[in-house]
Amino acid sequence: MMNDQMMDMMSMTMPGMDMALMQGCLEACSAAEQASTMCADASSGEGMGRMMSMCMDTADMTNTMMRVVMRPMGHDTGTMMSMLTATATMCMACADECSAMAEISDHAKMCAQVCMNCAQACQALMDSMASMASAD
């Protein structure tokens, strides 16, 4: 319910934006932030320093992406596309790192999948925004 109200308010300041994709991106970023935070915490005691660091960076990046998306009054397409690209790239790097540990770590396996989903949601929103821009 609250998400629907937020998306309605945001759509007023971002005409033409696919709000379903925007909401999907927000939800995927939230899930990736949570999964990568849990994965980083669990990795700290297992000697997986690189994966832990990658997960912490992903949690920070996805949190920042959510905050940028939630500020539609300051929406700048170029900035948004750059942020989405950076977030998708960070999520794929984290997914790759966690995938390498997936056979020995359930939290890494979960994190890899959630981060891959987030990268795909960011890409879908970018594709939609690019279509909007080319239609103008």
Distance CA(72)–CA(76), nearest Å, equals 9
The reported pLDDT for the residue numbered 10 is: 67
Per-residue DSSP letters for 44-113?
HTTT-HHHHHHHHHHHHHHHHHHHHHT-GGG--HHHHHHHHHHHHHHHHHHHHHHHHHTTT-HHHHHHHH
Token representation of residue 87:
């977030």
pTM for this prediction: 0.87
For the chain, what percent of residues have pLDDT higher than 90? Answer: 53
20-135 belongs to CATH 1.10.10.60: no
Q: What does the pLDDT look like over 7-27, one tens digit per residue?
A: 666 666 666 778 888 889 999
